[in-house]
C-alpha cells in the first residue's frame, strides 16, 4: 500500500515509516512511528476462571521522534503499569488503543523497550468477520486471531506486515498441555502449575501468534528431517490415525512442490470441542473434534492448513487486500494433494469450482476484494483457479520453479500481488499482462483457461 507520497520505497515496511498510512482494510489496527523487533510474553492463565495475567515486553525501534505512541490492546484487558526503557510511562487505554507517553521523547532511530503489565478475562473481538482472538473451550482455550484478534490477549502492533520473533511463556494448571508457536525450550512443574516456554525465532505476524490449552496427549509422528507432532484428547486416538494418517506423505509432497518446510517443526492440534473451521498458526494448525471422526472427510482441510506454513506464515501478505496470496495458494494445494493422493486432478477440481463461480455474482476484483469479502469462498476458489490458469500458460516446469522461488525469495518476509506478478514474468516466454488483468483485476469471470490462453 503506497504511503502519502503515492509510492513506497522497496524494502521499507508498510507501517512504521513516517510516510506510511494504515491499511484501509483494518484502519483501526496497526500503529505508526516505530517497528517492533521482538515480543516477550509472560502469561499466567487459570482455565476455570478464564483469568489471564500478562507482562508483555516489546523491543522496538523508532522511525521518527516519538513523544507518544500507541499499541493495539482489547478493552477486556486492564493495564496496571507501562514502562519505556525502564522508566514508568503515562498511558491511556481507550477504544482498544493503548496510548503511551514515555518519560522522554524517543529520537528517530532510538531503541524502545516497552513493558506492559495487564490482566483480565480474555474474550474474542467482535467485528465484520465474526469473533476472533482468545476463545474459551469447554475445557481449555485457543487463539484464532485472523485478522485482528491478537489484541484480545496481548498488546501488539497488529498488522501482518509487522513480523517479529517471539518468546512466549505460558503458566497454567498442571493437568493441561499448553502449546505456543515455535520450539519448546523449557518446561517447569511447580506444584499444581506448569510453565511452558516457547521460542519462535522466525519472524511472525501477530495474527499467527497463538496459545492452545487443553487436556491433550502428545504424540511424535516423525523426527526427521524435522519433528512432526500431534496433540489431541486421548479419546480421539483411533480416529486421528485415520483422518491424519497421510499427513506425513502430504508434508513430503508439499516440500517437493513448494520448497523446504520453513520452520523447525510442525504440530497438528485437535481440540475436544467442535470448530466451524480449522485455525492457522505459525508452526501448527488446529482442528476441531468434528474434523477427526475416522471418515477422512476433512483431509482437504488438513492439506489447506499445512500449505499455509509456506503461503501465509513464511511468505506473508503485506496488506490485507492481497489475501488471495494466502488462500488461493492454500486452496490450490488442496487440489494438488487431491491429484497426488489419487483423487480428482487439479484440473478437474478447477473445472468443478469454475462452474460454481459462474453462478456467483462478484463485483470486485480478486486483487482487491474489499474488507467485507476478503474471506468469502470465491476468493479462495478464484485464487486457486488463477494459479491453475498461470500453470497452464507457462507449463508445469516453470510453474513449480516459480512457486519454489517465491517461497525462497520471500521466506520469512512479506510480499504483494505486484511482487508475484513481477517474479512470474521471469518464468514465462510470453507477456502475462492479459492473464493478470482478466483473473486479478477484472471482477467478471474470464473463460476457463486452456494451455497458452
Question: What is the structure's pLDDT at 450?
Answer: 82
Question: What is the structure's pLDDT at 378?
Answer: 97
What is the distance, to the nearest Å, from the Cα of residue 262 to the centroid of all Cα atoms in its chain? 14
CATH class, range 316-441: mainly alpha
Kindly indicate the confidence band of residue 452, based on its pLDDT and cuts at 50, 70 and 90: low
**Inter-helix orientation angle 324-340/346-358, to 10°:** 130
For residue 261, pLDDT over 60 is answered with: yes
| Lowest-confidence segment of 1-10, 13-22, 190-199, 305-314 by average pLDDT | 1-10
Burial track 31-48 (b if 16+ CB lie within 10 A, e otherwise)? bbbbbbeebbbbbbbebe
Instruction: Report pLDDT digits (tens) over 338-384.
Output: 999 999 999 999 999 999 999 988 999 999 999 999 999 999 999 99
Q: Which residues contact 395 (CB under 8 A, 6 or more apart)?
A: none
Looking at the chain, which residues constitute the CATH 1.10.390.10 domain(s)? 316-441
Q: Give yes or no for a contact between 187 and 60, defined as CB atoms under 8 angstroms apart.
A: no
Kindly indicate the confidence band of residue 22, based on its pLDDT and cuts at 50, 70 and 90: confident
Instruction: Report pLDDT digits (tens) over 418-448.
Output: 999 999 999 999 999 999 999 999 999 999 9
Q: What is the mean pLDDT of residues 33-43?
A: 97
For residue 248, pLDDT over 70 is answered with: yes
In whole angstroms, give the CA distance from residue 120 to residue 78.
6
Question: What is the structure's pLDDT at 10?
Answer: 38
Q: Give yes or no for a contact between 350 and 335, defined as CB atoms under 8 angstroms apart.
A: yes
In whole angstroms, give the CA distance from residue 424 to residue 106.
42
For residue 7, pLDDT over 60 is answered with: no
The fold for domain 29-131+142-206 equals Immunoglobulin-like (2.60.40)
How far is it between the farthest Cα atoms of the chain? 67
User: HEC profile for 170-205?
Assistant: EEEECCCEEEECCEEEEEEEECCEEEEEEEEEEEEC
Q: What is the mean pLDDT of residues 133-147?
A: 98
pTM of structure: 0.94
Q: Does domain 216-309 have CATH number 3.30.2010.30?
A: yes
Instruction: Report pLDDT digits (tens) over 301-326.
Output: 999 999 999 999 999 999 999 999 99
Question: What is the structure's pLDDT at 156?
Answer: 98
| Lowest-confidence segment of 7-16, 70-79, 263-272, 393-402 by average pLDDT | 7-16
**Cα distance from N-terminal residue to C-terminal residue, the chain:** 30
Please report, rounded to a whole number, the percentage of residues in the chain having pLDDT higher than 90.
Answer: 93
Q: Give yes or no for a contact between 382 and 439, defined as CB atoms under 8 angstroms apart.
A: yes
Q: Which of 49, 52, 50, 112 is nearest to 85 (CA)?
A: 112
In whole angstroms, give the CA distance from residue 450 to residue 453.
5
C-alpha separations of 274 from 117, 271, 278 in Å: 33, 7, 10
Question: What is the structure's pLDDT at 453?
Answer: 52
Strand 69-72, strand 77-84: pairing: unpaired
Q: What is the mean pLDDT of residues 123-146?
A: 96
Question: What is the structure's pLDDT at 1?
Answer: 27
Looking at the chain, which residues constitute the CATH 2.60.40.1730 domain(s)? 29-131+142-206
Q: Give yes or no for a contact between 346 and 303, defined as CB atoms under 8 angstroms apart.
A: no
Looking at the chain, which residues constitute the CATH 3.30.2010.30 domain(s)? 216-309
The DSSP element (H or E) to which 269 belongs, if any, is strand 266-270
Amino acid at each position: 500500500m503506497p504511503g502519502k507520497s503515492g509510492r513506497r520505497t522497496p524494502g521499507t515496511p508498510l507501517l512504521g515509516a513516517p510516510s506510511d498510512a494504515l491499511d484501509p482494510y483494518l484502519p483501526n489496527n496497526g500503529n505508526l512511528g516505530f517497528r517492533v523487533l521482538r515480543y516477550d510474553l509472560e502469561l499466567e492463565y487459570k482455565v476455570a476462571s478464564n483469568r489471564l495475567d500478562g507482562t508483555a515486553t516489546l523491543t522496538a525501534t523508532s522511525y521518527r521522534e516519538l513523544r507518544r505512541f500507541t499499541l493495539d490492546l482489547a478493552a477486556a484487558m486492564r493495564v496496571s503499569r507501562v514502562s519505556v526503557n525502564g522508566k514508568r510511562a503515562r498511558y491511556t487505554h481507550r477504544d482498544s488503543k493503548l496510548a503511551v507517553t514515555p518519560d522522554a521523547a524517543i529520537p528517530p532511530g532510538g531503541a524502545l523497550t516497552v513493558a506492559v503489565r495487564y490482566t483480565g478475562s480474555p474474550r474474542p473481538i467482535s467485528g465484520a468477520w465474526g469473533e476472533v482472538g482468545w476463545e474459551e473451550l469447554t475445557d481449555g482455550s485457543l487463539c484464532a486471531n485472523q485478522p485482528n484478534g491478537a489484541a484480545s490477549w496481548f498488546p501488539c502492533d497488529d498488522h501482518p506486515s509487522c513480523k517479529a520473533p517471539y518468546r512466549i511463556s505460558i503458566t497454567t494448571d498442571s493437568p493441561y498441555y499448553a502449546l505456543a508457536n515455535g520450539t519448546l525450550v523449557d518446561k517447569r512443574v511447580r506444584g499444581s502449575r506448569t510453565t511452558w516456554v516457547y521460542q519462535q525465532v522466525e519472524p511472525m505476524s501477530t495474527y499467527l501468534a497463538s496459545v492452545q490449552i487443553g487436556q491433550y496427549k502428545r504424540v511424535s509422528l516423525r523426527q526427521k528431517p524435522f519433528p512432526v507432532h500431534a496433540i489431541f484428547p486421548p479419546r480421539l486416538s483411533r480416529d486421528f490415525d485415520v483422518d491424519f494418517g497421510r499427513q506425513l506423505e502430504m508434508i513430503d509432497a508439499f516440500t517437493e512442490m513448494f520448497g523446504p518446510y520453513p520452520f523447525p517443526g510442525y504440530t497438528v492440534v485437535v481440540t475436544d470441542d467442535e470448530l466451524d473451521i480449522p485455525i492457522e498458526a505459525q508452526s501448527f494448525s488446529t482442528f476441531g473434534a468434528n474434523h477427526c471422526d475416522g471418515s477422512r472427510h476433512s483431509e482437504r482441510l488438513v492439506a489447506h492448513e499445512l500449505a499455509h506454513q509456506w503461503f501465509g506464515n513464511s511468505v506473508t501478505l503485506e496488506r490485507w487486500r492481497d489475501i488471495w496470496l494466502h488462500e488461493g495458494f492454500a486452496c490450490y494445494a488442496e487440489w494438488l494433494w487431491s491429484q497426488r493422493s489419487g483423487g480428482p486432478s487439479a484440473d478437474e477440481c478447477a473445472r468443478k469450482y469454475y462452474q460454481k463461480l459462474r453462478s456467483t455474482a462478484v463485483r470486485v476484483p480478486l486483487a482487491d476484494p474489499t474488507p467485507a469479502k476478503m474471506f468469502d469462498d470465491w476468493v479462495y476458489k478464484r485464487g486457486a483457479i488463477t494459479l491453475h490458469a498461470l500453470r497452464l500458460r507457462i507449463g508445469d516446469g516453470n510453474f513449480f520453479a516459480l512457486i519454489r522461488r517465491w517461497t525462497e525469495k520471500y521466506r520469512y518476509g512479506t510480499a504483494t500481488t505486484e511482487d508475484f506478478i513481477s517474479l512470474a514474468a521471469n518464468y514465462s516466454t510470453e507477456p502475462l499482462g492479459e492473464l493478470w488483468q482478466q483473473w486479478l483485476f477484472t471482477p467478471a469471470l474470464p473463460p476457463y483457461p486452456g494451455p497458452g490462453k
